[in-house]
Amino acid sequence: MKKKLFALILAVCVTMSVTACNNQTTSSAVTSGTSSTESKEDSKAESSTESKEESKDESEAESKEEASAPETSDTTTSSPETSDTATSAPETSDTATSAPETSDTATSAPETTTEDNTSDAPTVETYKAGGLITEEMKEISVLHEGNRVRLAGFLKKIAAGEEVTVGFIGGSITQGTSAGNNLCYAKLTADWIQDTYPNAKVNYVNAGIGATGSYIGVHRVTNDLLSKKPDLVFVEFSVNDTTEHTQRNIESYDSLLRTIWNYETAPAVITIATVQENGTSFQQYHYDIIKKYDLPMISYGDAILSVIKKGDIAWKEISDDNIHPNVPGHNALSQMLTAYLSDAIADLDSITGAESDFTVKASQAGFENGTLLTPINSQPTVSGFIKKNGYFGGFDGTWIALAAAKPYPDDVGLTFEVEAKSIGLLYGKLTNSTATKADIYVDGELVTTIDAAFPGGWGNYVECAHIKSFNETGKHTVKIVPKTREGGSVFYVSALAIS
């Protein structure tokens, strides 16, 4: 019993002693924790203050450097350094806030620099051969916008889904030389019109013939193009009309436009001015005429020469010779035409008023409503000539006077009886050595002698010559007499041109 009581008393004493020790340890730990916290806070406060001051000093220094820095890239580069300072600082909101202030300064520098460098800089467009033409090219190409009332009528007709015919007349460029039938400007433009109005049917007529100008054009336009009942006609002859026959070509071009405009289908007319590499073109003479009638004129020459002068392209990129556009050249010309049409479509509702006035002629226009007498549609008196079927120089059928080793017979000749006010001749210009001359008589009078020889030329083609004009329309006899030459003689006649 005593042993149990003693053990109990001993256990109580030990328990009290342990409790006292634990209380002392806990009190000491609390005191130590408080002291540690105070030390941390003091350290943190000091560190925060030092970091804040350092960050502020660095920020101010960097801001000064940024303000004096000439290059945007230098200013922008300093911003990460500021961020590093902010990151390395203890988790104190003041220090973290000071970093974005520096960052704001860094951000504002590029904005100011960008505005200074680009706000006044113009947008530069560069034309690449085969690519899209520039807005500047579109503007330059519209040499004369002209009266668009008839064109608006055409556009409304096709927009209604009606069948239309689009025709082109010109020389070898219109024919498609250097581009082909499917990639020439005429086909590309007709295709664009069809694609723009898929619910309509667009008939396409290409009446281009190489090496022909507006003198031949006015005499063949009725048969080759107007007989197809066109609603819109594009006219291109500014390269083949030359200053060798300036007045004749002025009158023939004027006559051609009047013949087309006054045709029964009342077609809209858009004229085209092309150019040679050296700038040669009949554009100015044609322009003087179309301006009097207020017809549209699209100048491929002005637009393409402008980008060549600017250095965007070289001539050889849009032409394989000194005259004919190649595929990229035809593509560019078609884009100029379709850009003009697109503008008219956009303005359609505002195009009103009277159409162009053709009452007063721009010139004497003595070849209006001309026609051609060919081996297909006429029967002149023939002696010493044979009629050959097939095409020569773009024309169907040819009368040929051929004398191989002996002279022509005395009665050789090709004689026409005509009723006309103006008379001309289409004949073969030949590179072979036997090409000869022919005397041309009108009503028994020798009017001129024509030489068919074209030695060393680029090839055989159909040339034209104006023979004689009269004050009034009347009946006349025209006789073509080839001249014998040593070694053989040959002379081709394609047609008699009358108006």
Number of H helices, E strands in the chain: 12, 15
Would the pLDDT of 266 be above 60?
yes
- Name the CATH superfamily, with its identifier, for domain 135-350: SGNH hydrolase (3.40.50.1110)
pLDDT 10s digits, 332-353? 999 999 999 999 999 999 999 9
Instruction: Quick: pLDDT tens for 423-440.
Output: 999 999 999 999 999 999
For residues 377-406, give the mean pLDDT. Answer: 95
Q: Are strands 371-373 and 461-482 parallel, antiparallel or unpaired?
A: unpaired
- 406 pLDDT tier (thresholds 50, 70, 90): confident
The alpha carbon of residue 286 and the mean position of all alpha carbons in its chain are separated, in whole angstroms, by: 21
Q: Is 362 helix (H, G, I), strand (E, B) or coil?
A: coil
C-alpha distances in angstroms, 120 versus 79, 109, 117?
28, 18, 8
Question: How many Å apart are CA 216 and CA 372, to the nearest integer?
Answer: 9
Answer with the residue of higher pLDDT: 327 or 70: 327
Contact in structure between 238 and 275 (CB atoms under 8 Å):
yes
The 10s digit of each residue's pLDDT in 13-64 is: 334 443 333 433 333 333 333 333 333 333 333 333 333 333 334 333 333 3
More confident residue, 436 or 118: 436
pLDDT of 122: 53
d(CA 305, CA 324): 14
- With 0-12 / 13-18 / 19 or more C-beta atoms within 10 angstroms meaning exposed / middle / buried, residue 24 is exposed
Which two tokens mark 108? 């504002």
One-letter amino acid of 463? E
User: Which among 470, 472, 468 is positioned nearest to 497, based on CA atoms?
Assistant: 468
Q: Where in the chain is the domain with CATH 2.60.120.260?
A: 371-498
Average pLDDT over residues 192-198: 98
Is 371-498 CATH 1.20.140.10?
A: no
Angle, in degrees to the nearest 10, between helices 2-68 and 72-88: 170
pLDDT at 486: 87
Share of the chain above pLDDT 90, in %: 74
Mean per-residue pLDDT of the chain: 82
How large is the average pLDDT for residues 483-499?
A: 95
Q: pTM for the whole thing?
A: 0.76
Q: Is 380's pLDDT higher than 50? A: yes
**DSSP 8-class letter at 320:** S
Q: What's the length of the chain?
A: 499
DSSP 136-198: HHHHHHEEE----HHHHHHHHHHHTT--EEEEEEESHHHHTTTT-TTTSHHHHHHHHHHHH-T
Of the candidates 131, 228, 250, 239, the one whose C-alpha atom is nearest the C-alpha of residue 175 is 239
Parts of the chain belonging to CATH 3.40.50.1110: 135-350
Higher pLDDT, 106 or 359: 359
